[in-house]
Each structure stands twice: as C-alpha cells, then as structure tokens.
Chain A
Amino acid sequence: MIHKYKLGGYNVLLDVNSGGVHLVDDLTYDLLDNVEPPFQKECPGEVVKKLSKSYKDDDIRECYEEIVSLYNDGILFSEDDYEKFALSAVASPVKAMCLHISHDCNLRCKYCFASTGDFGQGRKLMDFETGKRAIDFLIEKSADRYFLELDFFGGEPSMNFDAVKQIVEYARSQEGPHNKKFRFTITTNGIHLTDDMIDFINKEMYNVVLSIDGRKEVNDRMRVRADGSGSYDTITKNFKRLVDKRPKDRDWYVRGTYTKYNLDFSNDVMHLYDLGFDQISVEPVMADASEPYAITEAELPAIFSEYEVLSQKIAKIRKEGKFINFFHFMLDLDQGPCAIKRLRGCGCGNEYVAVTPDGDIYPCHQFVGIKDYKMGNLYEGTFDLDMKNDFAHAHVYTKPECKKCWAKFYCSGGCNANNYMYAGDIHNAHKLSCQIQKKRLECAILMKAVELMDTAE
C-alpha cells in the first residue's frame, strides 16, 4: 500500500508497510496513478502513451525503472506481513495507570469530558488506602515490566495533593522490593499550584501536563472558575514558575484544547510559544455535535488549512535555529516505536487502566462512568480479564476501516474511547478524529522529510 499527497509544493510518497518516505517529482506522482505490481521489465506502452502528452517518453521509462528499483528494494509497494503478529496478540501485563486522585475540580471548563470534574459520579477525593491498593494492583499485574507509569489525573489533582505525596512515597517504597521503577506524571489546571507543589512535582514527576488553551480570550472563554471568571492570568504565572524551576531533563507540556471558537488555533500555539512555553500540545475538542463549540465535518477544511499554517510557522522558527516542539508533529521516521507497538496503540484496557476514588477500574480515563466498561474494583478484588482480552485484540487488523488505512501504523487504531462514544464500537473508526489525525500526519511527515533533506544537503 502506498499513500501520496501534495503539500507545501512537495509531492510526498509514503510506503505504508515499510515506513519508507520519498519526495517525488510530478512525473512519478502521475505515473503512480497508472502502475502497480506486478511490474514488467519496461514501462507498458499504453502508460507511456497516456503520459506522453505531459512528459518525455524517455523520462517516463526512466521513472518507471526507478519505481521498480524501489519496489525490488522493499521500500515501495512492500507487502503487509504484520497481520500474523496481530493475530497472536495476547493480553499484556498492566504497566500504566491513570489514577483519578480527585473527582473534583476548581474550574468549570465548558467542554470538560469529565462533567466538570466528577465524571458524573459525584465530587470525591481518593483516599490514601485506595491509592495504596492501586499501587499494589499495578505492581501485581505488571509481571516483568520494570517501568510503571502512574498519571495523577482528575478532576484537578492539586485539590488532593497530600494524597498525591503519600501515594508517591508509598510507591517509591515498593520499587526496591519489587524491582520496579515508577514514572509519575500529573495533569493540572494550574489554578492552585503552590511553591511546595511545584517543587514536589519537579522532583518526582517524570512528565507534567499543564492545561491552558492559548490566548487569554480563547482560554477564558472555556476555562472558567465556578463564578465564571477566567483562569488565564493565574495559570500563566503558575505554569511559568513551574517550568522555570523544572530540571532540563524532565518532560513537560502545555496542553490546550481548540474548539469551533478558535479554528485559528495556530495563533494559540504561537501565543504559548511567545509566553516561553516551547513544549506544546494543542488538540481538537471531542464533543457531541450538538454542543455549540463542537468540531464537525463542516470545520474540517478550516482545520486542515490551519495545520498547514501551523507547520509553516513551526518550520520557520526551527529554521531560525530555535527550539519548538508540537506534540502531534513529533515523528521519528527512523527510530520510532516498533511495528508491534503500532498495531495496538494506547493499550487501554490491556496495558493501561484507570482507577476512580471508589477503587473502580476502567479501561482508561475516558471510559470512567460508563457502566458497561467497568472492569472491576480494588476493594472487591475483581478485574474482568475477558474485557481485558477484548481490548488486547482491538488492533488495526480487527478494525475494518483501519486495516485499509494508510495511517494505521502512525495512529494505531485511534482512541478506543472516542471510537465507542462517537462511532458506537471500539472497533469502529471515529471518522472525524481520523481525518484530523491524517492531516496532522501528512504535515508531520512532510516537515520531517524536509528537515532530513535539508540536513543531508
């Protein structure tokens, strides 16, 4: 399978199964509409005749030979031989957990997927005993996995920070005896970040996700307090303090959500960059189409165009020798994740689970509160291995639309929760997400290709 597209004055050719990326001229681009394996020794006469209106015959024949040469090298029209790995997919150890330390929040963000913090389950904080049981559960289910990931999530985790500290201390005490290493992360809205919290986060957290949408008017339209006032002025100050004090070898991101209200979101990315935040993730809101801020098919042309604008802005900054990282344009064409990882994606419900303040276990944070997807409970000692097995087998070869999609080894089947909520089944592709994902990938692949080409020259 190949995928080709025109962007930014380039013709990009992707060989899906090998991961090969090529930049090609117009002749190759057009010729590939007319030829495919099995190839002959020479370009078929009817193809030469068809293209001879636009190109010289000798060039067409030469181009055909180049295509055949790459085919013989296994980097064009290469075979899809990964399905055998997918079919032997087995349930994996649990290695990652989203710990809902607080089902309460000090913001009332209008697009919140967690019903402004409580996931529709009432405002609650997780106690230490539940957190301890979650750590024990993760260690027990992790088999031989050494790195264990634990994300403190909410609601707003800083509303229950004493429990965060206690749980981190307990988990650290268990690393030696069980030969594990915890990688903690925390997602915070920054409203109530004290110096003490910042120091603790910067010492203990492997990654920190700082929620902010961008420009003041954009952020404060959606990310508001209970009294309706905006959060921008408070959180920008707090996030700057955190980032300024953060050790250089530790990850962090500012992470925003864009909606129908700011389809010019490249300006929000640039605003965050101008504030001094150069590790940025800004993503589309996921919401029912009836919501006034929801993104629908009608917004896609504007969004596609905006990703192109964003990629140009980022490329310009990098050309000036400055650093900026946009999460969804990160792509390593040579040393990315292995093919096996790419078959199954996030691992939710299989390698990754979420735990609520009541000790309920769900496949991930997005499934919390959906009764049919409750996997078990830490106090009852239950864990639904049949459901875990279903998630283990939810990979790009059991998702019909993914199987035939060129982007399957980059997005790996998409978000199972979005698939369920907006397309009715974890195996159904959520087409809106797919289209945005594909556009981001096209931009990212081209940006990387041009950077590599410039470096080589």
Chain B
Amino acid sequence: MNHIKTINKANLKKTAAKGGCGKCQASCQSACKTSCTVANQKCEREA
C-alpha cells in the first residue's frame, strides 16, 4: 500500500473466543498499585 503501513497482525478478536482462562497475573500486582494498566500484561494460556 502507498498510503497506509499496517504495523501489527490485529488479533484481538481471535483472543475473545478462547480467552478468559484467568491464568494471567492480576494487573495491579505487578508494579503499579495505583493505576490500572492491562495491555502490558502477559497472556499465560498454554498454547
């Protein structure tokens, strides 16, 4: 494409179907304790 450069393989929709296993860390436990940032958490679901 000449005008648009797509950076990532957008897969958020695919994660909805198999998501929600709950194995991942509660985000507030990591380093913040005063704010909520979820997008920087790791998915821990086994492939």
Q: Which residues of A contact B (CB under 8 A)?
A: 13, 15, 17-25, 27-28, 59, 62-63, 66-67, 69-70, 74-75, 78, 81-82, 85, 92-93, 95-96, 98, 113, 145-147, 149, 151, 153, 183, 185, 187, 207, 209, 251, 253, 255, 257, 281, 283-284, 286, 327-328, 330-342, 345-348, 351-352, 364-366, 409-416, 418, 433, 437, 440-441, 448-449, 452-453
Segment 1-47 of B: residues with Cβ below 8 Å from A? 1-13, 15-16, 18-45
Give min CB distance, A5 to chain B, whole Å. Answer: 14
> Contact: B28 with A346, CB < 8 Å?
yes
**Cα distance A345–B43 when bound, in Å?**
13
Which B residue's beta carbon lies closest to that of A252?
B31
> Contact: B43 with A25, CB < 8 Å?
no
Query: Contacts A62-B2, A149-B25, A338-B20 hold; do A19 and B38 have CB atoms under 8 A apart?
Result: no
Main SS class of interface, A = mixed
Query: Contacts A24-B5, A334-B11, A337-B42 hold; do A410 and B22 have CB atoms under 8 A apart?
Result: no
When distances are taken between beta carbons in the complex, the residues of chain A under 8 Å from B45 are 338
When distances are taken between beta carbons in the complex, the residues of chain B under 8 Å from A151 are 29
Q: Which residues of B contact A (CB under 8 A)?
A: 1-13, 15-16, 18-45
Give min CB distance, A101 to chain B, whole Å. Answer: 15
When distances are taken between beta carbons in the complex, the residues of chain A under 8 Å from B34 are 113, 257, 283, 286, 366, 415, 418
**Cα distance A153–B8 when bound, in Å?**
38
> Contact: B29 with A185, CB < 8 Å?
yes
Which B residue's beta carbon lies closest to that of A366?
B34
> Contact: B11 with A364, CB < 8 Å?
no
Q: What 3 pairs across the A-B complex have the smallest Cβ distances?
A: A338-B19, A340-B20, A20-B10
> Contact: B38 with A412, CB < 8 Å?
yes
Which A residue's beta carbon lies closest to that of B19?
A338
Give min CB distance, A58 to chain B, whole Å. Answer: 11
> Contact: B35 with A409, CB < 8 Å?
no
**Cα distance A448–B32 when bound, in Å?**
21
Query: Contacts A67-B4, A253-B31, A337-B24 hold; do A342 and B10 have CB atoms under 8 A apart?
Result: no
When distances are taken between beta carbons in the complex, the residues of chain A under 8 Å from B38 are 337, 341-342, 345-346, 410-412
Q: For A364, give its contact among B4, B6, B20, B28 (CB under 8 Å).
A: B28
Query: Contacts A185-B29, A327-B31, A366-B34 hold; do A24 and B41 have CB atoms under 8 A apart?
Result: no
A-B contact pairs, 5 of them (CB 8 A): A13-B4, A75-B10, A95-B22, A342-B39, A411-B36
> Contact: A25 with B3, CB < 8 Å?
yes
Give min CB distance, A343 to chain B, whole Å. Answer: 9
> Contact: B26 with A352, CB < 8 Å?
yes
> Contact: B27 with A332, CB < 8 Å?
no
When distances are taken between beta carbons in the complex, the residues of chain A under 8 Å from B9 are 334
Give min CB distance, B44 to chain A, whole Å. Answer: 7
> Contact: A337 with B11, CB < 8 Å?
no
Q: For A352, give its contact among B1, B6, B28 (CB under 8 Å).
A: B28
**Cα distance A338–B20 when bound, in Å?**
7
Query: Contacts A146-B23, A341-B24 hold; do A187 and B5 have CB atoms under 8 A apart?
Result: no
> Contact: A20 with B3, CB < 8 Å?
no
Give min CB distance, A293 to chain B, whole Å. Answer: 14
> Contact: A22 with B7, CB < 8 Å?
yes
Give min CB distance, B28 to chain A, whole Å. Answer: 4
Q: For A452, give its contact among B7, B13, B25, B36 (CB under 8 Å).
A: B7
**Cα distance A340–B16 when bound, in Å?**
6
**Cα distance A6–B6 when bound, in Å?**
16
When distances are taken between beta carbons in the complex, the residues of chain A under 8 Å from B18 are 338
**Cα distance A23–B6 when bound, in Å?**
6
Query: Contacts A149-B25, A341-B38 hold; do A453 and B5 have CB atoms under 8 A apart?
Result: yes
